[in-house]
Amino acid sequence: MSTDCNESQVLIIAEAGVNHNGSLQKALEMVDAAADAGADIIKFQTFKAVNLVTADAAKADYQKVNTGGGSQLEMLSALELDDMAHEKIIERCRQRDISFLSTPFDIESVHFLKSLDMKIFKIPSGEITNLPYLRLIGSLGVEIILSTGMSTLGEVEQAIDIIELAGTPPSDITLLHCTTEYPAPMSEVNLMAMLTMASAFPAIRAIGYSDHTQGIEIPVAAVALGATVIEKHFTLDRSLPGPDHAASLEPDELAAMVKAIRNVSDALGDGSKKPTPSESGNRNVARKSIVAARAISRGQTITEDMITAKRPGTGISPMRWDEVVGSIASRDFLKDQQIV
């Protein structure tokens, strides 16, 4: 698995996150759904709740709306996947030919994922200011995908510097622009910031977008702007209880997003302006030739009022109009006959 893409394909990460609600069976069903939708990678979250939050850490507002009362610790404890669950999920990914990825949210989880021989590590937006965490992942000799929600450009630069000093060059770092709100308001998406980061950090491997909006149009727009990696939350059922379901796509919507992204990616092309193979048969049909506007006798001097331009384009091009005007008719021409 690599974040490299061929010229016509964007890397699509289906973010299962914690939308399995702590159920291995649901997690396996999500692997199947992501594979069926055509995603390249399915991503989970690996953490020990007690290592991630303090006992009195409050929930975010969107978490309160989606899960009710209680603490972050209580909520997250119910969403953990144990070591055995990870192994079973990875095996299902192998069976379904979709790559497995998981975001570690604590140091212990980083070491655990490394023990699973992970070749790519995803750093979530919330860890971009966690120096020891960044330093550890930067020392692993793996590709890194770094989400940048809630960050300033300076914080992104600082994180890249830490990772690079730890041993990972920018050429192995993919940056994802992100707005960390669930769902993210359209007016705060700021897709153009993706281009700002691409310009500010030209040595990075790739630029992409992690989407928290509702619907599929923003990831598709990001691809049109140049994103080569797209991450999007999905769920088996948006009505399920849990913090992230409300801002997630259902399987049929995920499939529609994948199809739309593939189409847009194919449509971007290579940038060279030239006739395409499918256009070649239409050139003579759509273009015009110089024809007689009325009968012309051999030997007459052709004037502008004697000629016009009409389809098909199998004769002399109207671009040679000035050459024809003033020339001597080589033979008789009936109206609408091509001038030769």
Interval 143-163: pLDDT, tens: 999 999 999 999 999 999 999
pLDDT at res. 1: 57
pLDDT surpasses 50 at 7: no
pLDDT surpasses 70 at 216: yes
Averaged pLDDT for residues 135-149: 99
Question: CA-to-CA distance for 256 and 252, rounded, in angstroms?
Answer: 6
pLDDT at res. 230: 99
DSSP codes joined into one string, 58-97 = PPPHHHHHHH-SS-HHHHHHTT---HHHHHHHHHHHHHHT
Instruction: Identify the structural domains of the chain with CATH numbers, from first to last.
Output: 11-268 (3.20.20.70), 277-324 (no CATH)
pLDDT at res. 168: 99
β-strand pairing of 289-292 with 307-310:
antiparallel
pTM of the model: 0.89
Q: What is the pLDDT of residues 11-45, one digit of tens each?
A: 999 999 999 999 999 999 999 999 999 999 999 99
Whether the CB-CB separation of 162 and 182 falls below 8 Å is answered with: no
Whether the CB-CB separation of 7 and 226 falls below 8 Å is answered with: no
Q: Pick the more confident residue, 56 or 239.
A: 239
pLDDT at res. 6: 45
Q: What is the pLDDT of residues 68-99, one digit of tens each?
A: 667 888 888 889 999 999 999 999 999 999 99
Burial of 312 (0-12, 13-18, 19+ CB in 10 A): middle
pLDDT at res. 337: 98
Q: Pick the more confident residue, 51 or 319.
A: 319
pLDDT surpasses 60 at 101: yes
pLDDT surpasses 50 at 246: yes
